[in-house]
């Protein structure tokens, strides 16, 4: 029997490693696992070329011209990051031998499934049901049946895995960097300020939040909106007049945006977890959320209001409810939000992630 080691060699397999929330999560784990003495390598590809027609369409809509490379959350951690020369499936020739290899997206799950055993025990880190917003649905769904240990981030994804026949799923909720996202106690502002993260992706539900804000503005005088995102607002999804919009704000500025608001809108139709919920809460901003991702668990602990899915009227009423709160009541809600966020640290999440790797790794060594 091979002697158990307390250190692992770990490879994360990503698609394009940009600035999406899923990449941020992987960067957190890669960095923290390495600091615990594990050997970590992150593999990724350049951005997939969508074709000339899509590139022109995106440019016309203000999304910019396609670039195969760009900024990444991995730029901010001291972890070895190897990027392929072009977008293509990864093979044994690309991936180092290791104890553990972790897929992080449905395509990478297909690649990892085909790797030889020398590349490590195979894991599938599931951060969303990607068939809800990507295609082809049949191939995405099939990756849930691949013989890999699953680690996921929210209870609804654990439940989904069980419905699909897998009872052995590790739940490791996402967390928030309390050094990056924080704010001192404050009072409610004279002009109610509501914030949101702007996205043109339908599943993000930006249209729901905008409609809710417009409804609430009919009953709340001098209400204001603040938003940030990576895209210029599209004419089919315009933000309310006088919105203070921040495009691609520096990471250090995002906490200031959260903290400038009296309520944060999380309006996703579907979501893996919903990092903005914890980020806003860590900045003492109550969250009004649809029941997607981890919102039921997070908002259910206090610090916000859970509303009906795809219901601008219900979200608008929640905005009005916060708008009508007296100062002590709002401060209590703000404090509950902060207390909820403080329960979710990356150190604790890394311990759970590490435990999931060791439990399965150890069982392999004992055979």
Residue 122: what pLDDT? 98
Per-residue pLDDT of 46-98, as tens digits, reads: 988 766 555 466 555 555 544 666 789 999 999 999 999 999 999 999 999 99
Residue 98: what pLDDT? 98
CA atoms within 13 A on the CB side of 79: 31
263 vs 86, 101, 330, 343, CA distance in Å? Answer: 43, 40, 10, 20
Beta strands in the chain (DSSP E): 9-16, 39-45, 80-83, 100-103, 121-126, 149-152, 169-171, 193-198, 224-229, 244-247, 263-266, 287-289, 304-306
* Mean pLDDT, rounded, for 190-209: 96
Residue 225: what pLDDT? 98
CA distance linking residue 280 with residue 341, whole number of Å? 9
Read off the pLDDT band of 364 (50, 70, 90). Answer: very low
Residue 75: what pLDDT? 93
Residue 147: what pLDDT? 95
* Mean pLDDT, rounded, for 318-338: 97
Per-residue pLDDT of 5-49, as tens digits, reads: 789 999 999 999 988 889 999 999 999 999 999 999 999 999 887
* Nearest CA among 247, 80, 264, 239 for reference residue 181: 264
Which phi and psi angles does 69 have, rounded to 5°?
-125, 170
Burial of 17 (0-12, 13-18, 19+ CB in 10 A): buried
Per-residue pLDDT of 116-132, as tens digits, reads: 999 999 999 999 999 99
* Mean pLDDT, rounded, for 300-317: 97
Domain ranges of the chain: 9-175+345-365, 193-341
Residue 36: what pLDDT? 97
Identify which has the larger pLDDT, 231 or 146.
146
The pair of three-digit structure tokens given for residue 110, joined into one six-digit string: 């297909």
Read off the pLDDT band of 359 (50, 70, 90). Answer: confident
Residue 366: what pLDDT? 34
Q: Is 3's pLDDT higher than 90?
A: no
Asked if residues 98 and 120 have their Cβ atoms less than 8 Å apart, the reply is yes
**Domain 193-341 in the same topology as domain 9-175+345-365:** yes
* Bridge partners (DSSP) listed for residue 195: 226, 264
Residue 71: what pLDDT? 85
3-state secondary structure of 294: coil
* Nearest CA among 66, 4, 113 for reference residue 364: 4
Per-residue pLDDT of 162-198, as tens digits, reads: 999 999 999 999 999 999 999 999 999 999 999 999 9
Q: Is 243's pLDDT higher than 90?
A: yes
Residue 53: what pLDDT? 59
CA distance linking residue 267 with residue 208, whole number of Å? 6
Q: Look at domain 193-341 and name its CATH class.
A: alpha beta
3-state secondary structure of 154: coil
- Domain 9-175+345-365: which topology? Rossmann fold (3.40.50)
CA distance linking residue 272 with residue 153, whole number of Å? 7
Buried/exposed 291-325: b ≥16 CB within 10 Å, e otherwise:
bbbbbbbbbeeebbbbbebebbebbbbbbbebbeb
Residue 282: what pLDDT? 98
């Amino acid at each position: 029997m091979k002697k158990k080691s307390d250190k692992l060699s770990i490879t994360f397999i990503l698609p394009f490693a940009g600035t999406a929330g899923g990449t941020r999560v992987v960067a957190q784990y890669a960095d923290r696992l390495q600091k615990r003495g594990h050997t970590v390598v992150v593999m990724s590809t350049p951005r997939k070329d969508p074709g000339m027609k899509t590139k022109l369409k995106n440019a016309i809509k203000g999304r910019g011209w396609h670039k195969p490379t760009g900024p990444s959350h991995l730029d901010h951690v001291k972890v070895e990051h190897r990027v392929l020369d072009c977008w293509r499936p990864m093979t044994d020739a690309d991936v180092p031998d290791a104890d553990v290899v972790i897929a992080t997206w449905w395509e990478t799950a297909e690649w990892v499934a085909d790797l030889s055993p020398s590349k490590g025990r195979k894991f599938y880190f599931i951060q969303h049901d990607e068939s809800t917003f990507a295609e082809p649905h049949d191939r995405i769904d099939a990756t849930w049946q691949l013989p890999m240990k699953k680690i996921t981030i929210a209870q609804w994804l654990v439940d989904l895995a069980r419905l699909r026949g897998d009872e052995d799923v590790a739940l490791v909720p996402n967390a928030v960097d309390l050094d990056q996202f924080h704010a001192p106690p404050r009072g409610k502002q004279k002009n109610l300020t509501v914030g949101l993260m702007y996205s043109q992706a339908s599943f993000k539900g930006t249209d729901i939040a905008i409609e809710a804000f417009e409804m609430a503005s009919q009953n709340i005088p001098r209400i204001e909106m603040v938003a940030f995102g990576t895209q210029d607002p599209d004419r089919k999804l315009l933000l309310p007049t006088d919105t203070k919009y921040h495009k691609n704000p520096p990471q250090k500025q995002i906490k200031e945006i959260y903290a400038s608001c009296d309520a944060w809108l999380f309006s996703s139709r579907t979501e893996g977890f919903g990092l903005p919920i914890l980020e806003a809460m860590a900045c003492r901003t109550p969250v009004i959320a649809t029941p997607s991702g981890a919102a039921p668990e997070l908002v259910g602990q206090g610090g916000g209001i859970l509303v009906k899915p795809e219901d601008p009227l219900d979200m608008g009423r929640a905005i009005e409810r916060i708008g009508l709160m007296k100062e002590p009541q709002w401060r209590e809600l703000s404090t509950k939000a902060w207390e909820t966020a403080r329960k979710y640290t990356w150190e604790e999440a890394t311990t759970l992630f590490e435990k999931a790797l060791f439990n399965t790794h150890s069982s392999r060594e004992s055979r």
